[in-house]
A and B are shown apart, each in its own frame.
Chain A
Amino acid sequence: MTIPPPLGLLAELTHRCPLRCPYCSNPLELARLAAELDTATWLRIFREAAELGVLQLHLSGGEPALRRDLPELIRGAAAAGLYTNLITSAVTLDAARVTALAEAGLDHVQISFQDADPSSADRIGGYAGGHAKKLIAAAAIRVAGLPLTLNAVVHRQNLERLPEMIELALALGARRMEVAHVQYYGWALANRDALLPTRAQLDAATATVDAARARLKGQLTIDYVVPDYHAARPKACMGGWARSVMVIAPSGRALPCHAAESLPGFDFPNARIQSLQDIWTNSEAFNRYRGTAWMTGPCAGCPNAEIDFGGCRCQAFALTGNASNTDPACALSPHHALLADALETATQPHFTYREPGRAPGG
């Protein structure tokens, strides 16, 4: 049996970040600078990825622009034939840096925005003046002719301004927008009570997105990620475990999903010492939840098994204590009521910022 190769590689170049968003998707235990892969190793990983069949490289973090070798990494990835997508907070990008990245062969930039209101955005990101810096960077990206996606991470504390965030995307010349409800793992799970949206907020947001999509056809494409907590069926997390994406963490650890380090009992392979081909095909970690053979309970034999692949392993573990369980986002899960309970108690206004050594509740 041959295993189809991954389409995408998510390279988390660093966990360092000037922002402190309380819903950060990085693990609670952040990698330090000294643990990061060097330039040559990343370039070797990119070449291996292209040979394996990866088409798109997502350069992420932390804040990937904190890597001084970013233009060199982009040049190497482009030379390997990869489509390069920079996922950035943009607060450290000035016009000179943007020009250097464009000249290196960067294909696309995605900037995260924390809100449309500057003071709220700076409060959520935990970085004074950050919003204004993003606006400057977005203008430089437009001047450089690089295509831009605006990524709006939405939750209870900013959802009311979703219409303004869509206007912001238009004003900045973005051709694409991601309206991404927070996914509650890691830091976001620890801050869940402060972030979960109400049902009324979610319905208003969905209506706003539907109307904007119709109005802005051909002008702005909007991708919409809904929160599991109001869902009846789980999403196919990562498109299915080890099915289309490989993640490389700053230290070189290879993961089937960026939150997978939260799962116990795994020995994740490291791309420093093992080839991507070997990791993808042969490692126990990538094979453990690949496909449907591992499924039990309501997933086994479910007609949706090949559609949602049982949802998210990390969410199953975080909420039920067993990563092999059906994702409780599924209404067929015996643990589904946990989500409704969480919605009821989500009234806390205060969150904990994401900072090294400051894991919430720890």
Chain B
Amino acid sequence: MSLTEASAPRLARGYRLRRDAARDRMVVLGPERVFEADETALAILALIDGERSVAEIIDALAAQYAAPRSEIAGDVLEMLADLAERGVIAP
């Protein structure tokens, strides 16, 4: 169940990332849940497809933001672990 760099997470069944035009934002919709996706969350969620590994997601974001890999890795793993705990993603 635990999430590692080898995991290839995807949005759990029942969760959808979509644009909320009326409020000009991106949201994750789930059962009785609406999460607003901020810029960081959105950057991570956009790369989650059930095939890309967490390691690959970290590499891509480190390149995109020209930031040290270790720093990005901490943020990504923390956010994904939180999302997994809340059932939003399946590790």
Contacts and interface: CB of A to CB of B under 8 A. Distances in A.
Query: Is B a genuine binding partner of A?
Result: yes
A55 B31 contact: no
Nearest to A56: B29
B9 to A, nearest CB: 12
A89 interface: no
A53 B18 CA distance: 13
A52 B32 CA distance: 19
Taking each of B27, B31, B32, which has the highest tally of chain A beta carbons within 10 Å of its own beta carbon? B31
A218 B85 contact: yes
A83 B34 CA distance: 10
Interface in A84-128: 85, 107-108, 110
A149 B18 CA distance: 22
Interface in A223-262: 223
A147 B12 CA distance: 9
Interface of chain B, helix or strand or loop or mixed? mixed
21 contacts: A5-B22, A7-B34, A53-B22, A53-B23, A55-B20, A55-B29, A55-B34, A56-B29, A83-B16, A83-B29, A107-B16, A145-B13, A175-B12, A175-B14, A176-B31, A176-B87, A218-B1, A218-B84, A218-B87, A219-B1, A221-B87
Contacts of A223: 32
Contact of B14 (A55, A107, A218): A107
Nearest to B14: A147
A146 interface: yes
Interface string A143-176: 0011101000000000000000000000000011
Taking each of A7, A56, A83, A85, which has the highest tally of chain B beta carbons within 10 Å of its own beta carbon? A83
A107 B34 CA distance: 14
Interface string B2-41: 0000000000111010101111000101111010000000
Contact of B32 (A85, A145, A146, A219): A85
B32 to A, nearest CB: 7
A71 B27 CA distance: 26
A81 interface: yes
A178 B32 CA distance: 10
Nearest to A176: B31
A273 to B, nearest CB: 24
A45 to B, nearest CB: 17
B85 to A, nearest CB: 5
A217 interface: yes
Nearest to B18: A81
A55 B86 contact: no
Given A81-B18, A219-B1, A55 B27 contact: yes
Nearest to B91: A218
Contacts of A83: 16, 29
A107 B31 CA distance: 8
Given A149-B31, A175-B87, 4 more contacts: A81-B18, A145-B13, A175-B12, A176-B87
Contacts of B84: 218
Nearest to A52: B22
Contacts of B20: 53, 55
Nearest to B86: A221
Contacts of A7: 34
Contacts of B1: 218-219
Contacts of B23: 5, 53
A308 B5 CA distance: 42
3 A-B pairs with least C-beta separation: A53-B22, A147-B14, A83-B29
Contacts of B31: 85, 107-108, 110, 147, 149, 176
B27 A108 contact: no
B34 A56 contact: yes
A53 B19 CA distance: 11
A223 B31 CA distance: 11
A158 B14 CA distance: 29
A83 B1 CA distance: 27
A238 to B, nearest CB: 13
Contacts of B27: 55
